[in-house]
Structure 1
Amino acid sequence: MKKLIEQILKFGVVGIIAFLIDWGILNLLVGVFHMHNVIAATISFTIALIFNYFASMKYVFRHRPDMARWMEMAIFVFSAVVGLLINGLIIWLSTYGMNKDAFITQHAEYLLRTNIGKLIATVVVAIWNFIIRKWLLDDTHTNAMNRLRGHVLSEEELEAKWERSFSHRLGMWSIEHTPKGWK
C-alpha cells in the first residue's frame, strides 16, 4: 500500500509540472497570440506530454522486463491520443455556445472558459492516464490492490494471477514480436 501511495504522489508531482507546462503554453497561445483554444490546447498538450513521458518512465513507473520498449511507447502514445481527444473535447465544450453579448469582453470570457475547461480536462485525463499506465506499463504487481479488497494472495497465487493477466501477455507478445535489432 505504501508503494502505491508513493507512486501516486510521484505521478502527481510529474503531473503538476506537466500541467504547468501545458497550462502556461495554452494561455500564452490563446491569451497573447489569440489562437483557437483547441489548436492551442493540442500544441500545449503535446509539449507537456513529451515531458510527461520521460519523467513518468524515469520517476513513476518501472520498466517491465516482460515488455519491449516499443510496446511501452505504443501504450503511452495510445493513452496520450485518448487523453488528447478527451482534453480537446472538454475544452471545445467549455466555449461552445458562448454568449455573444457577454458582460466582459469576449476574449476575456473565451480565455476564462478555456481555463475552466482545461482544469476539468486535466483531472479527467490524469485519472485516465494513471489507470491505463498502471494497468499496462507498471512492473509493481503487488498485493496492494488485493489488500484494499480485504484479501491477500500468496506469492504463488499472485504470480499465477500475473502470468494470466492481459498486461503480462501483451508484454510477452511484444518481446516475441520485436523486430530484429530493436531492444
Structure 2
Amino acid sequence: MRKLIEQLMKFGIVGVIAFIIDWGILNILVGAFHMHNVLAATISFIISLIFNYVASMKMVFKHREDMARWMEIVIFVVGAVIGLFMNDAIIWISTYGMNHDAYVSQSAEYLIRTNVGKLIATAVVMVWNFVTRKWLLDDTHTNATNRLKKKENRLSPEELEAKWENSFSHKLGVWSLEHTPKGWPK
C-alpha cells in the first residue's frame, strides 16, 4: 500500500507540472491569440502529453521486462488519444451554445467557462490515465513478488505466478516481445 501511495504522489507531481504546461498554453492561445478553445486545448494537451510521457516513464511507472518499449509507446499514445477526446469533448461542452465568432464581447465568460471545463477534463483524464497506465504499463508483477518476499501478500508464490501469467497485461507484453521487428530495442 505504501508503494501505491508513493506512486500516486509521483503521478500527482508529474500531473501537476503537465497541467501547468497544458493550462498555461491553453490560456495563452485562447486569451491572447483568440484561438477556438477546442483547437487550443488539443494543442496544449499534445504539448503537455510529451512532457507527461517522458516524466511518467522515468519517475512513476517502472519498465516491464516482459513488454517491448514500442508497445509501451502504443499503449501510452492510444490512452492519450482517448484522453484527448474526453478532454476536448468536456471543453466543447463547457462553452456549448456560446457564439465563438462573437466571443470578443463575451471573452471573459468564454475564458472562464473554458477553464472550468479544463479543470473538469483534467480530473476525468487523470483518473483514466492512472488506471490504464497502472493496469497495462506498470511492473506490478515485480512489486507483488517483492511484497511476497516481505510476507505482505496473501497469495502463495505459485498462485501469484499463475495469476500474473494469465493476466491480459502480461500476455500483451509477451506478445509485443514476440512481435518486435528485428533491430528494434526490446
TM-score (norm 1): 0.91
Give the superposition deviation at 1:124: 0.1
Match of 2:179 among 177, 180, 183: 177
Give the superposition deviation at 1:99: 8.0
1:154 aligns with 2:156: yes
Determine the C-alpha separation between the residues in 2 that align with 1:77 and 1:21. 18
1:60 aligns with 60
Paired AA for residue 170 in structure 1: L
Please, which runs of 5 or more residues in structure 2 have no aligned partner?
Answer: 145-152
Paired AA for residue 169 in structure 1: K
Determine the C-alpha separation between the residues in 2 that align with 1:135 and 1:178. 21
TM-score (norm 2): 0.90
Determine the C-alpha separation between the residues in 2 that align with 1:153 and 1:94. 47
1:118 aligns with 118
Determine the C-alpha separation between the residues in 1 that align with 2:70 and 2:131. 20
2:93 aligns with 93
Determine the C-alpha separation between the residues in 2 that align with 1:98 and 1:36. 11
Please, which runs of 5 or more residues in structure 1 have no aligned partner?
Answer: 144-150
Paired AA for residue 157 in structure 1: E
Give the superposition deviation at 1:14: 0.2
1:77 aligns with 77
Instruction: Compute the RMSD of aligned alpha carbons.
Output: 1.8
Identity of aligned residues (%): 73
Determine the C-alpha separation between the residues in 1 that align with 2:50 and 2:73. 11
2:147 aligns with none
Residue by residue, what CA displacement relative to the aligned partner does 1:120-152 show, whole Å, maximum 9, x if unpaired? 000000000000000000002345xxxxxxx82
Paired AA for residue 130 in structure 1: F
Determine the C-alpha separation between the residues in 1 that align with 2:16 and 2:158. 38
Q: Trace 1:104-115 onto structure 2 (pairs within 5 A).
A: 105-115=105-115
4+ long deviations beyond 3 Å: none
Give the superposition deviation at 1:17: 0.3
